[in-house]
Amino acid sequence: MMSTQVWFLLFIVNLLSLQLSLCQELQSEADSSNVLPGNHTLNLSRKLLQFIQSDLKNMTHLKVLDAVLKKHVGPLSTVQKLDLSGNGLYTDMIGYLLRDAPALTNLSLNENSITKIGNGTFSGSPSLRNIDLHNNVILEIEEGTFDSLLNLTELDLSVNSISCITDFNLFQLRSLNLSKNSMTSFQSIDSNQEFELLYLDLRENKMHYFPVLPKRNKIIYLDLSRNQLHSLNSTGPDDELQYLRDIEGLNFSPLRSSKTHQLLPRLLYLDLSYNQLKAVPPDFFSSLWALDTLNISNNCLDNFVVDTEGPLNVLKTLDLSFNNLQNLTFKENTLWALETLYLQGNILSMLDSGLFRLPSITNLHLQLNELSICGPQQNQTSSCVSLFSIPTLRYLYLSENKMTSLPAHAFQGSPLLILDLSLNPNMKISEQALSGLERSLTHLYLRGNHLEKLNINLTALRSLKVLDLYNNQLDGLFLGSRNSAIENLNLQNNKVKILDASTVLALEKTLRTLYLGSNPLICCENIHLISLIQQAHMDTDNATCQNTRDAGCGEVNLRDVKSEHCETLNSKVLVIAMIAVLVLGLMIVLLVVLKLCHSRSHRFSNSYKA
Ligand SMILES: *[C@@H]1O[C@H](CO)[C@@H](O)[C@H](O)[C@H]1NC(C)=O
Ligand SMILES: *[C@@H]1O[C@H](CO)[C@@H](O)[C@H](O)[C@H]1NC(C)=O
Ligand SMILES: *[C@@H]1O[C@H](CO)[C@@H](O)[C@H](O)[C@H]1NC(C)=O
Ligand SMILES: *[C@@H]1O[C@H](CO)[C@@H](O)[C@H](O)[C@H]1NC(C)=O
Ligand SMILES: *[C@@H]1O[C@H](CO)[C@@H](O)[C@H](O)[C@H]1NC(C)=O
Ligand SMILES: *[C@@H]1O[C@H](CO)[C@@H](O)[C@H](O)[C@H]1NC(C)=O
Ligand SMILES: *[C@@H]1O[C@H](CO)[C@@H](O)[C@H](O)[C@H]1NC(C)=O
Ligand SMILES: *[C@@H]1O[C@H](CO)[C@@H](O)[C@H](O)[C@H]1NC(C)=O
Ligand SMILES: *[C@@H]1O[C@H](CO)[C@@H](O)[C@H](O)[C@H]1NC(C)=O
Ligand SMILES: *[C@@H]1O[C@H](CO)[C@@H](O)[C@H](O)[C@H]1NC(C)=O
Ligand SMILES: *[C@@H]1O[C@H](CO)[C@@H](O)[C@H](O)[C@H]1NC(C)=O
Ligand SMILES: *[C@@H]1O[C@H](CO)[C@@H](O)[C@H](O)[C@H]1NC(C)=O
């Protein structure tokens, strides 16, 4: 243990270094009115330093902290909740501050400079229930530190430098946060007593192996994301024997040695994302009877199997995105409750037909794979996947699959609300591809598909609210004469010169957002469109049109086009034409009159001659 002088000197050094940065921001905060006698809550967050600072000038002996506490804080004997966060406190000051705090239940020590917690630290505060030590630099916790805290239920040690926990034995603890440390291993003591632990957060550490969890546990939440797990074994092959000795005693049998997976019967949430897992053995799931959410995204899986040994029959969400999956096998009578399946970012070119037996599947993310789609007329072969007749399916994402065609009735019997087919350039869409979706489909995404013509019957899609055709080569859009339900239309980056008056009319009642930028629109040919866009409630991009009549004027924002401008042009032409006709008429009349006069005078002269 450091001597009082040493820690105090360290404290002063720390104080002086922090002083500069903190003093300005603290100046306004300083107010000892926060410290009320008899108040059971004491919030000294970022205040202690300042109190000490104000007394620094007449500091003559090492008892200054004591003096400061007496003067500004008073005894802690009745305080129940104490916030000492952000005070630059050092290791040994904690025990000193807490030496007589028998009523203390909640303690915040986050954002200090604690490097070690000694096993005497909390001996003066036996009632603690909740300790927050997050964001310190803790490297070491002495054996037995928390043993005397029989009511301790929450311990937050996140954002520290702890490298391992051996012999975890806090039976009564409910929540343990060790995220953002340097943990390479976590081992519980071998005991048949039940642990109360519910939440264990080990996110962002350096774990190579699955933690050794209490044999009898109630854990519901386990986060192991962003570690370095290569397998789900609790120990490496070298340690295996030792591990089995530890766990099972010396009299283990070779048969039992294959059971390296642990019982987690209450686990609801398991996050294994961002690790280096190559495989997940199906028997790993055999004790996960309650699992609701499983995330294994961003690993290196090339195969994934769920079989009847671990059927995961209450699992609702499964995330396998961004792996190297080529193969996916769901055996019969598994995954009964699965609603959302993330498979994007794999190299799937086929899907096991088990997928279509999933009785609850609602939400299927298949983007960024190499799938092609079968129609009901084709039999599913290894070269395509059937997505029709899945009566629970509502959301389907198929963008970026390099699909070349979409056959007729591809989704018949799957009542989709949202369908994303974007970024499958040059995909040939059958005219009947979306048949069966007439009543259900509300969102259709066809971005970046190089479409020159949209041959699906949009009029038939009665519920369609969002239509995204961004970045294609369409020269128009035909919606028929019926009112459409479309509220949001994106036609940016196409080749539309004229948007049909009947289309505008069909959109008029419901449309709220219209994006038309980067199209060669012609201003005076789009009078209906312009008056639609100029309605106050319409949300648009700053689309422009070309003003061909006024040569040289170029692009005009659709919102700025005055329809009178086009009308004036028209009426000018009309006037000129009328004048021309009039002039022409007059000339003809004049000519006729002249002719008549001429012939009469001729006759007259004749007669005169005669
Ligand atoms: C106790 O002090 C806190 C601030 O530290 C204050 O918010 C609270 O109102 C006080 N409670 C009583 C009962 O004085
Ligand atoms: C103490 O006060 C700080 C701000 O001054 C606040 O962020 C913190 O939540 C408070 N602590 C408690 C336990 O109320
Ligand atoms: C520091 O000096 C001021 C007056 O200069 C005095 O009021 C205060 O009590 C002194 N503090 C201590 C801790 O002695
Ligand atoms: C622990 O909590 C119980 C129930 O709230 C209480 O009776 C007991 O006094 C507490 N123990 C300590 C050491 O504070
Ligand atoms: C005090 O601790 C208890 C038990 O851990 C917790 O439920 C409660 O929210 C905490 N109160 C405060 C103000 O932090
Ligand atoms: C406290 O820690 C020291 C050193 O790690 C150890 O020798 C001692 O047995 C511990 N005390 C208790 C009560 O665990
Ligand atoms: C653990 O702490 C981290 C960082 O302080 C926080 O983001 C996370 O939500 C905590 N985990 C749990 C389960 O509360
Ligand atoms: C995991 O444990 C099993 C069974 O003991 C063993 O066959 C396998 O090689 C282990 N995997 C790794 C990566 O250690
Ligand atoms: C996919 O899995 C099945 C059965 O699990 C196997 O027969 C087949 O060879 C696998 N295919 C690939 C490409 O790995
Ligand atoms: C599809 O398979 C069924 C039997 O498995 C067969 O009767 C039918 O002719 C096949 N259809 C096509 C288009 O190959
Ligand atoms: C498109 O669908 C509408 C409404 O179902 C129907 O009246 C129309 O005939 C269809 N048009 C074509 C070209 O199939
Ligand atoms: C349209 O232009 C205005 C002003 O130039 C800009 O503030 C606004 O963000 C633009 N809107 C869009 C959708 O680009």
Q: Transcribe 28-76 into DSSP letters.
A: TT--GGG--TT-SEEE-TTTHHHHHHHHGGG--STTHHHHHIIIII---
| 323 CA → ligand 9 middle, Å | 16
d(CA 484, CA 479): 7
d(CA 505, CA 237): 71
| 121 CA → ligand 1 middle, Å | 26
In this structure, the chain runs to a length of 610
Comparing CA positions, the residue from 387, 440, 386, 447 lying closest to residue 421 is: 447
Q: 329 in a domain, yes or no?
A: no
Tokens matching residue 82: 């104490």
Residues whose beta carbon lies within 6 Å of some atom of ligand 4: 126-127, 150-151
What pLDDT score was predicted for residue 607? 47
Q: pLDDT higher for 1 or 493?
A: 493
**Which region holds residue 85: left if phi is over 0, alpha if psi is between -120 and 50, else beta?**
beta
Residue 2 burial (CB count, 10 A):
13
Q: 121 in a domain, yes or no?
A: no
Residue 582 burial (CB count, 10 A):
10
Does residue 466 register a pLDDT over 50?
yes
Please state the separation of Cα 141 from the chain's center in Å: 36
Q: Tokens 């006037």, residue?
A: 575
Is any atom of ligand 12 closer than 6 Å to the C-beta of 542?
Answer: yes
What pLDDT score was predicted for residue 254? 35
Q: 90 in a domain, yes or no?
A: no
| 128 CA → ligand 1 middle, Å | 20
Rg of the Cα atoms in the chain: 39
For 294-330, the pLDDT digits (tens) are 999 999 999 999 999 999 999 999 999 999 999 899 9
| 255 CA → ligand 5 middle, Å | 46
For 559-602, the pLDDT digits (tens) are 888 866 676 555 666 667 777 778 888 888 888 888 877 776 65
Is any atom of ligand 3 closer than 6 Å to the C-beta of 277?
Answer: no
Does residue 458 register a pLDDT over 50?
yes
Is any atom of ligand 9 closer than 6 Å to the C-beta of 329?
Answer: yes
Q: Indicate which atom in ligand 10 lies nearest the CA of residue 378.
A: 13
Q: 592 in a domain, yes or no?
A: no
| 104 CA → ligand 7 middle, Å | 23
Tokens matching residue 34: 């926060």
Comparing CA positions, the residue from 489, 487, 427 lying closest to residue 455 is: 427
| 392 CA → ligand 11 middle, Å | 27
Is any atom of ligand 1 closer than 6 Å to the C-beta of 378?
Answer: no
What pLDDT score was predicted for residue 26? 31
Residue 207 burial (CB count, 10 A):
22
* Residues sharing a CB contact under 8 Å with residue 225, sequence separation 6 or more, in sequence order: 203, 204, 271, 272, 273, 274, 275, 295
For 8-34, the DSSP string reads: HHHHHHHHHHHHHHHHHHHHTT--GGG
Is any atom of ligand 12 closer than 6 Å to the C-beta of 518?
Answer: no
User: What stretches of 479-521 show up as alpha helix (H) in DSSP?
Assistant: 501-507
* Ligand with the closest atom to the CA of 29: 2
The CATH number of whichever domain residue 467 belongs to comes to 3.80.10.10
One-letter identity of residue 349: S
* Overall number of domains in the chain: 1
Tokens matching residue 548: 């061909």
Question: Exposed, middle or buried by CB within 10 Å (0-12, 13-18, 19+), for 362?
Answer: middle
Instruction: Report the DSSP pairing between strands 555-557 and 544-546.
Output: antiparallel
Percentage of the chain modeled with pLDDT above 90: 58
For the chain, report the end-to-end CA distance as a whole number of angstroms.
Answer: 154
| 90 CA → ligand 3 middle, Å | 24
Average pLDDT over residues 500-512: 92
Q: 358 in a domain, yes or no?
A: no
Q: What is the mean pLDDT of the chain?
A: 83
d(CA 327, CA 294): 18
d(CA 302, CA 353): 18
* Ligand with the closest atom to the CA of 36: 1
Give the residue, by CA position, lying nearest to ligand 10 atom 5: 379
Q: Tokens 């948007």, residue?
A: 499
Give the residue, by CA position, lying nearest to ligand 7 atom 10: 177
Q: What is the largest CA-CA distance in the chain?
A: 156
Give the residue, by CA position, lying nearest to ligand 12 atom 11: 541
Residues whose beta carbon lies within 6 Å of some atom of ligand 11: 457, 459-460
Q: 369 in a domain, yes or no?
A: no
* Ligand with the closest atom to the CA of 386: 10
Q: Tokens 């630099």, residue?
A: 137
Which H or E element spans position 578? helix 563-609
What's the angle, vertex CA 361, arms to CA 434 and CA 231, rounded to 5? 125
Q: Indicate which atom in ligand 7 lies nearest the CA of residue 175.
A: 13
What pLDDT score was predicted for residue 252? 38
Average pLDDT over residues 473-495: 92
Structural domain range at position 485 = 461-570
Question: For residue 220, what are the β-bridge partners?
Answer: none
d(CA 339, CA 393): 9
Is any atom of ligand 1 closer than 6 Å to the C-beta of 36?
Answer: yes
Is any atom of ligand 2 closer than 6 Å to the C-beta of 45?
Answer: yes
Question: Exposed, middle or buried by CB within 10 Å (0-12, 13-18, 19+), for 287?
Answer: middle
Residue 570: DSSP 8-state: H
What pLDDT score was predicted for residue 52? 62
Which H or E element spans position 528? helix 527-533
Is any atom of ligand 7 closer than 6 Å to the C-beta of 134?
Answer: yes
d(CA 190, CA 209): 18
Average pLDDT over residues 113-136: 95
d(CA 517, CA 402): 27
For 176-229, the pLDDT digits (tens) are 999 999 999 999 999 999 999 999 999 999 999 999 999 999 999 999 999 999
Is any atom of ligand 10 closer than 6 Å to the C-beta of 381?
Answer: no
| 83 CA → ligand 5 middle, Å | 12
d(CA 350, CA 378): 15
Which H or E element spans position 92? helix 91-97
- Judge whether 395 and 421 are in contact, CB under 8 Å: no
What pLDDT score was predicted for residue 6? 37
* Ligand with the closest atom to the CA of 118: 6
* Ligand with the closest atom to the CA of 198: 7
Q: 497 in a domain, yes or no?
A: yes
- Judge whether 122 and 128 are in contact, CB under 8 Å: yes
Least confident of 17-26, 69-78, 105-114, 181-190: 17-26
Ligand 2 pocket test, pick from 83, 109, 132 with the greatest ligand atom count within 8 Å of Cβ, gives 83
Question: For residue 514, what are the β-bridge partners?
Answer: 489, 540
Q: Indicate which atom in ligand 3 lies nearest the CA of residue 57.
A: 1
Is any atom of ligand 10 closer than 6 Å to the C-beta of 379?
Answer: yes
Residue 204: DSSP 8-state: S
| 259 CA → ligand 8 middle, Å | 10
Q: 349 in a domain, yes or no?
A: no
What pLDDT score was predicted for residue 149? 96
Q: How confident is the model at residue 134 (pLDDT cuts 50, 70, 90)?
A: very high
| 148 CA → ligand 6 middle, Å | 12
- Measured torsion, CA atoms of residues 369, 374, 380, 384, in degrees rounded to the nearest 10: -30
Ligand 4 pocket test, pick from 79, 127, 154 with the greatest ligand atom count within 8 Å of Cβ, gives 127
Residue 591: DSSP 8-state: H
Ligand 6 pocket test, pick from 116, 121, 141, 142 with the greatest ligand atom count within 8 Å of Cβ, gives 142
| 120 CA → ligand 6 middle, Å | 9
* Residues sharing a CB contact under 8 Å with residue 271, sequence separation 6 or more, in sequence order: 203, 222, 223, 224, 225, 293, 295
What pLDDT score was predicted for residue 441? 98
For 275-319, the DSSP string reads: S------GGGGGG-TT--EEE--SS--SEEEE-TTS--TT--EEE
d(CA 422, CA 485): 21
Is any atom of ligand 3 closer than 6 Å to the C-beta of 67?
Answer: yes
Is any atom of ligand 12 closer than 6 Å to the C-beta of 500?
Answer: no
For 539-552, the DSSP string reads: EE---EEE--SSTT
Which H or E element spans position 247? helix 240-248
Least confident of 26-35, 48-57, 288-297, 517-526: 26-35
What pLDDT score was predicted for residue 38? 53
Please state the separation of Cα 215 from the chain's center in Å: 35
Give the residue, by CA position, lying nearest to ligand 7 atom 2: 158
Does residue 543 register a pLDDT over 80?
yes
Residues whose beta carbon lies within 6 Å of some atom of ligand 6: 119, 142-144
